[in-house]
Structure 1
């Protein structure tokens, strides 16, 4: 029988990348972690980490990969069972772990969670804000129940359970020359400063391709990994920004900025998807929140 501590130390060592880092996180001697992992390997009859001179980061062996999958599946089933037991009792308690892009944190996510909390007041949330590539990696490691992502690349272990297209627009201050237009083409943007995402933002590939297809070299005033900074810079009138249409119920005639739609065949909409790991059995709380978010997004889309 595999000791419980050995499984825990193995998992933390893998997540931290080394026995020393795991020791600091767990406040346990490095030798104790190494000893427990050795007991684990003796029980399995195979090494779980690759050993080699000069190796700085722990890597799993084939046996280690199988053990990691077992741990992930066991943890997933345990979370699902607890959530379903709570649901049967009518308590609706539990925690949902989700990931979202930064563009959701200003309005949509707070609005949606506030409405959801009124229906299910005993649920808590763990929210990770990041770009699509990192969110998909976290899903694959079962660190998230689900994630909202933009333009995700196909991955064999990730399922897209919901998808919608968001129009791509120009965001500009009301004083900007483009703000008076009903629609714009990419060529209209060529003579103005633009705030652009850097390579860590999934939209950059899409934007680079459409400017390239139009044979336009954008006048990039500012680049950033923060989508919210790009929006804020445009709202202040420092430049324009190419963004997806605003995801919020909030509208006001006093707003000092405008979203101007594109009328250009080379401008593609942004693909928003809800992703989970393939084979993952989600807890009732996560499934309920996903369905709630889906309905909220559809209502917003229909109200535009």
Structure 2
């Protein structure tokens, strides 16, 4: 039994005429009649009574009619559902990202994705990497763009590094440069007032760790802010801050001074739960984000940003 045979059967049952049914089905009448006979032979009973040119359903035809209608309807429903999924006409992506990434490249990538797939709902949660991993573990997010390395006691996560970025020292352009050289050392921050992020922030931990490794405890002028607040505090002359280079884009009131000896780097990765396969829409966003990054010219990414091959790096709690 073939779906096309059932479709021809329904056309004849509706029109009660083989020729008109063939026209509706856009097939030659002999072909339609042949398929109906094949269906009758397979079922072992005639489906139509052809007495005196009147086409009526036989008892077997009456039994088959609602079943055939249901089969064809279910087939069309399945076809439309798959087409909608494949065509990305509906669905949602629940994405987590750190504030610096939301303020940087991610906004442009989300705009591109929304332009290509306007029917997909985008839900974005902005938080630190540890909080985002927790939300992933609870099933509240499909994907997260996080900072590596990350240690977590939650279920294992697949992480794929996508970018490596240098951290720079942000200062107000209205004030003198923080040093005479074109770059700074971590030890140059010893006597500088620093604007510090809130506790649990990836950048807070990396900055404090670098200072302590260099043998000093940094002097904090103000602490507890999110990314936008920290940058505004720096613009207002409250101190310096160690930030990703990407957040200084379109901020003419700030300058970025590279850190050298040692360079402070951070690795940006896409993460999802190892025990749950990402949804079709989440996978589509992942591919769109990678395509977006790969399409950026080197001059636009900047010298401080390096595109990485997104190979899975195992679980996040592997470090």
TM-score by length of 1: 0.64
Say whether 1:291 aligns with 2:317: no
2:237 is the counterpart of 1:237 = yes
Contact 2:96 2:143 in 1 (8 A): yes
Are residues 91 and 184 of structure 1, via their aligned partners in 2, closer, same or farther at CA, if it must alter by over 3 Å? closer
Instruction: Indicate the SS of the match to 2:162.
Output: strand
* Comparing 151-160 and 294-303, the one that deviates more: 294-303
Give 1:180-195 correspondences, 5 Å limit. Answer: 181-195=181-195
CA deviation after TM superposition for structure 1 residue 239, in Å: 1.1
Give the aligned partner of residue 45 of structure 2. none
Counterpart in 2 of 1:86?
84
Q: TM-score, normalised by structure 2?
A: 0.62
In structure 2, how many angstroms separate the alpha carbons of the residues matched to 1:83 and 1:200?
43
Task: Indicate conservation of the 8 Å contact 2:168/2:256, yes or no.
Answer: yes
Deviations 1:191-213 (A, max 9, x none): 22111123211232222221011
Q: Secondary structure of 1:239's partner?
A: coil
Question: Is the CA contact 1:192–1:219 (under 8 Å) kept in the aligned structure 2?
Answer: yes
1:222 is matched with 222
Q: Quote the Cα distance in structure 2 between the aligned partners of 1:105 and 1:164.
A: 14
CA displacement 1:92-113 (0-9 Å, x = unmatched): 3111101111112334333222
Deviations along 1:24-82, whole A, 9 cap, x unmatched?
xxxxxxxxxxxxxxxxxxxxxxxxxxxxxxxxxxxxxxxxxxxxxxxxxxxxxxxxxx9
Matched residue SS, 1:167: strand
Q: If you compute each CA radius of gyration, which structure gives the higher value, 1 or 2?
A: 2
Cα shift at 1:144: 0.4
Quick one: which of 74, 94, 97 aligns to 2:94?
97
Provide the aligned length of Structure 1 versus Structure 2. 218
Distance 1:236 1:171, change over 3 A: same
Using a 3 Å threshold, how does the CA distance of structure 1 residues 225 and 173 change in structure 2: closer, same or farther? Answer: closer
Partner secondary structure for residue 178 of structure 1: coil
Partner of 2:265: 269
Report the counterpart of residue 37 of structure 1 in structure 2.
none
Corresponding residue number in structure 1 for 2:277: 281
Q: Specify whether residues 117 and 83 from structure 1 end up closer, same or farther in structure 2 by C-alpha distance, changes over 3 A only.
A: farther
Give the conservation status (yes or no) of the 8 Å contact 2:97–2:145. yes
Structure 2 unaligned regions, length at least 5:
1-79, 303-319
Structure 1 distance, partners of 2:287, 2:172, is 35
Q: How far apart, CA to CA, are the structure 1 residues paired with 2:91 and 2:126?
A: 20
1:196 is the counterpart of 2:196: yes
Maintained 8 Å contact 1:162/1:294? no
Task: Name the CA distance, whole Å, in 1 between partners of 2:281 and 2:163.
Answer: 22
Aligned-pair Cα RMSD in Å: 2.5
The equivalent of 1:171 in structure 2 is 170
